[in-house]
């Protein structure tokens, strides 16, 4: 058996272990930042689950062990009983921040170009928002736990307008407005002459 064959066999065995034991599916299920309601104060908080640990215990014992890896209320509330985990286990997908943001943009149109916000491509063309003071920014720059309050007061902005209007807002001295002159369509009147 060559070194390459041995390496391929090990990789295949590892992939089979990750898939067949549910490790990969569990990791995907609990990966990502979530927005929950903190049971202690009833306010939104951003948390993330230790997805690797949950996946490990799913693979070893058949049941995932779900614990928080981070919380926006830590370290002040560090050592809490993590009562919000029940919200995550009840509906892991609906409290994902990306799902909440996508749901907010769904059916909305850009406040500048009025085109519907198309399917969100997070890594290439994330959508943006316009705040009440006119500031335009990507939603990812916001603190997640503030999103519910922010979405109540801001307007949706598509990625293209975020680039154009953001530049216009930040660099007004570099922008020259030129209004396009609409050309009128001239039509030739039908002739009654006989040739």
131 vs 44: CA distance, rounded Å: 20
Binder to Zn ion among 71, 97, 136, 161 (CB under 5 A)?
A: 161
144 vs 98: CA distance, rounded Å: 10
Binder to Zn ion among 97, 129, 136, 158 (CB under 5 A)?
A: 158
Distance of closest approach, residue 183 Cβ to Zn ion, in angstroms: 25
Q: Judged by CB under 5 A, does residue 162 bind Zn ion?
A: no
> Where does this chain touch Zn ion (CB under 5 A) — which range of 43-51, 74-82, 129-137, 152-160?
152-160
Distance of closest approach, residue 168 Cβ to Zn ion, in angstroms: 13
Distance of closest approach, residue 158 Cβ to Zn ion, in angstroms: 4
Residues in the chain: 195
127 vs 119: CA distance, rounded Å: 10
> CA 155, 156, 162: angle at the middle one, nearest 5?
110
> Where does this chain touch Zn ion (CB under 5 A) — which range of 82-90, 101-109, 138-146, 151-159?
151-159
Binding mask 89-118 toward Zn ion (x if CB under 5 A, else -) reads ---------------------x-xx-----
Angle between helices 23-30 and 3-20 in degrees, nearest 10: 60
The DSSP H or E segment spanning 30 is: helix 23-30
Q: Which chain residues interact with Zn ion by CB under 5 A? A: 110, 112-113, 158, 161
């Amino acid at each position: 058996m060559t070194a390459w064959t041995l390496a391929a066999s090990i990789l295949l065995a590892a992939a089979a272990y990750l898939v067949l034991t549910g490790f990969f599916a569990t990791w995907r299920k609990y990966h990502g930042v979530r927005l929950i309601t903190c049971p202690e104060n009833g306010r939104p908080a951003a948390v993330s689950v230790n997805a690797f640990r949950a996946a490990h215990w799913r693979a070893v014992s058949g049941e995932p062990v779900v614990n928080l890896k981070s919380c926006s209320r830590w370290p002040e509330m560090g050592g809490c009983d993590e009562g919000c985990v029940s919200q995550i286990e009840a509906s892991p997908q609906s409290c994902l921040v990306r799902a909440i943001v996508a749901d907010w943009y769904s059916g909305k149109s850009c406040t500048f170009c009025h085109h519907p916000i198309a399917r969100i491509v997070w890594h290439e063309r994330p959508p943006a928002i316009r705040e009440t003071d006119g500031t335009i920014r990507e939603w990812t720059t916001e603190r997640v736990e503030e999103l519910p309050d922010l979405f109540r007061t801001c307007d949706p902005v598509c990625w293209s307008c975020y680039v154009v209007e953001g530049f216009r807002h930040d660099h007004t001295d570099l922008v020259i407005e030129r209004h396009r002159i609409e050309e009128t369509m001239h039509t030739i009147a039908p002739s009654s002459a006989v040739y």
